[in-house]
Amino acid sequence: MGRGVILDPDPMAAAKVCECTRSVQAEGEALGIPARYRQAGFDGFWDWWKIQHSKERLSGMLASVPALLESDAARAALSEELASKLELILHKCGGKMASGEFVWKDLKPAQEPQGYRTFCNWARHGRENVDLWWIDGPAGSGRSTLVAAALKAACARSGQGGLFVSVRTFSQELKDTYYDSRSFRNTDFQSERDRMTPLLQAPVLVLDDLDRLDSDIRVVRSIAQLLDQRYADELPTIATASRWAETVLKAENSPLARLEDPSLQRRFSQARRVELRPVLERLMESLDV
């Protein structure tokens, strides 16, 4: 059970793919999710995340926080906001001394990524309206897996469709509509509008690797117009990138920065963020004591 296959009682008979797996794969394909991520789910992501960011490492890091907060010199060097966040994590983790060392009731508040719980609740339950989510982290941090899980959950909740789009691939598709690209593959002669319409209308849209947007100014303008229109229509968009939105916009030779669009920049800076690193690790690295 739960393995995606059905084993025949006859050991010589081949295993069969479970219908539930076929259903997940078909659903993912309809949403445009790449095959690698079609069986992604929040539970599977969290199981993977716990392996990547072990409790042993986080426990040791967390054990140093009480002494840090109790030291007058160290506490004076902390901002009130940072001190409050560290105290809140300690409270949620429920630490107590046992045999001379801390034992934690639940390490998840320290171990989970910043904004992860809010993102899951939005996808599963739609408790608040969010125009733009920004999921950032380095290569291999689980960005695409997480947003595929969120897209599936959001569509299942609302009963509506959605779309997962690789920005790098879509950039090339847009360039092909201009008929001056050497990699011309627009054999069905679709226009830019034809290409953009599904993205404009998708009830939930994932723009994977938005920081890999092509530098062609026509492509950049089209993506900016897409974001403007979806914002106006109150349709949620989930973007992934290797860095935070403001960092992407300020990067040298950033295609989006070339637009010099204050409203787009403001919208990016106000995006709801999920930073794919343990929240405690992020806070501890911000210490200057």
Q: Residue 114 — φ and ψ, nearest 5°?
A: -60, 125
Q: What is the CATH number of domain 113-277?
A: 3.40.50.300
CATH code 3.40.50.300 region(s) in the chain: 113-277
**In the structure, how many helices (H) and strands (E) does the chain have?**
15, 10
- Pull the structure tokens for residue 258: 């070339």
pTM of the model as a whole: 0.84
- Write the DSSP symbol of residue 273: E
Q: What is the full per-residue pLDDT of the chain (289 aa) written as tens digits?
A: 344 445 555 544 544 544 444 444 446 777 999 999 999 999 999 999 999 998 888 998 898 888 888 888 877 888 889 999 999 999 999 877 776 677 889 999 999 999 999 999 999 998 888 999 999 999 999 999 999 999 999 999 999 999 999 999 999 989 888 865 555 565 566 788 999 999 999 999 999 999 999 999 999 999 999 999 999 999 999 999 999 999 998 888 889 888 888 888 899 999 999 999 999 999 988 875 4
Residue count (the chain): 289
**Best CA proximity match to 175, nearest among 138, 227, 217:** 217
**Best CA proximity match to 134, nearest among 249, 54, 243, 33:** 243
**Best CA proximity match to 27, nearest among 14, 40, 15:** 40
Q: Residue 254 — φ and ψ, nearest 5°?
A: -65, 125
Helices 192-201 + 167-176 axis angle, to 10: 150
**Best CA proximity match to 243, nearest among 253, 251, 234:** 251
> What does the alpha-carbon distance between residue 213 and residue 4 come to, in Å, rounded to a whole number?
36
> What does the alpha-carbon distance between residue 18 and residue 190 come to, in Å, rounded to a whole number?
38
